Amino acid sequence: MHVLLVEDDEPVAESLRRGLKRYGFEVDWVTTGAAALAHPGPYDVVLLDLGLPDTDGLDVCKALRGRGDVPIIVISARSDETDRVVGLELGADDYVSKPFGVREVIARIRAVMRRVRPRTPADAGPDRYGTRLTVDRKAARVHLDGAEVALAPKEYDLLAFLTEEPGALMSREQIMEAVWDANWFGPTKTLDVHVAALRRKLAGAITIEAVRGVGFRLEVAGDTP
Ligand code: CA
């Protein structure tokens, strides 16, 4: 997924850029409103600081929205409620206030992408991953080489979550929250057990790489990273 980051504060932009890349996002970073509007794209989402050196970020937001439907997440040091409301009225999809953690930003990006990519009848069928694996999210069924794979409910939930964005690094906390319980504080060994089961049952179609100290990354076999 390609992110256009519009932020003039270099330390903030650098840490955000590094964090996003670590989670599998591609980041184009510009420091002015003019550069944001001149960026040729394509990008999937815009992270837009409001306090820019050359122009008000709200004007950039309005101009970007005037051109199309790209999701815009406003980031700002201004905790002013008015800015938030105006930003959303001008077409921003969400808003984060500084200071923020990279995980919070990633969670917002994923939530916004889920909202703006509603399923159309054309892609209502199962999702395909490479040549061998399909995940039918409506029926909660998984097929490998055309044969249904018997997965435990949590194995299915885990696969459905990890395949939302192949190649992206998901932290153990994100996975536990999404698949098990929003308030899970217990041991995460059960996650490793489920990952092992998916690796075994879907061997050859996907790989699930463990990233030490962080989490897991699902890759579709045959996909070039
Ligand atoms: Ca700024």
Average pLDDT score over the chain: 86
CATH class of 125-220: mainly alpha
| Buried residues in 19-29 as b, exposed as e (16+ CB within 10 A) | bbeebbbebbb
- pLDDT, average across residues 74-86: 73
Question: How far is the centre of ligand 1, averaged over its atoms, from the C-alpha of 115 (Å)?
Answer: 27
Choose the weakest-confidence range: 145-154, 173-182, 197-206: 173-182
Q: Give span(s): CATH 3.40.50.2300, the chain.
A: 2-116
**Is the full-model pTM beyond 0.75?**
no
Q: What is the pLDDT of residue 62?
A: 93
Tens digits of residue pLDDT in 3-36 = 999 999 999 999 999 888 877 789 999 999 999 9
CA distance linking residue 7 with residue 75, whole number of Å: 9
Question: How far is the centre of ligand 1, averaged over its atoms, from the C-alpha of 68 (Å)?
Answer: 24
Question: How far is the centre of ligand 1, averaged over its atoms, from the C-alpha of 167 (Å)?
Answer: 30
The DSSP line for 59-123 is HHHHHHHHH----EEEEES---HHHHHHHHHTT-SEEEESS--HHHHHHHHHHHHHHHSPPPGGG
Question: How far is the centre of ligand 1, averaged over its atoms, from the C-alpha of 65 (Å)?
Answer: 20
Question: How far is the centre of ligand 1, averaged over its atoms, from the C-alpha of 9 (Å)?
Answer: 5
Question: How far is the centre of ligand 1, averaged over its atoms, from the C-alpha of 111 (Å)?
Answer: 24
Tens digits of residue pLDDT in 98-135 = 878 887 888 888 888 877 766 555 556 788 888 899 99
Check whether 59 has a pLDDT greater than 70.
yes
Q: Give span(s): CATH 1.10.10.10, the chain.
A: 125-220
Tens digits of residue pLDDT in 205-222 = 999 999 988 899 999 987
- Note the CATH architecture for domain 2-116: 3-Layer(aba) Sandwich (3.40)
Question: How far is the centre of ligand 1, averaged over its atoms, from the C-alpha of 62 (Å)?
Answer: 17
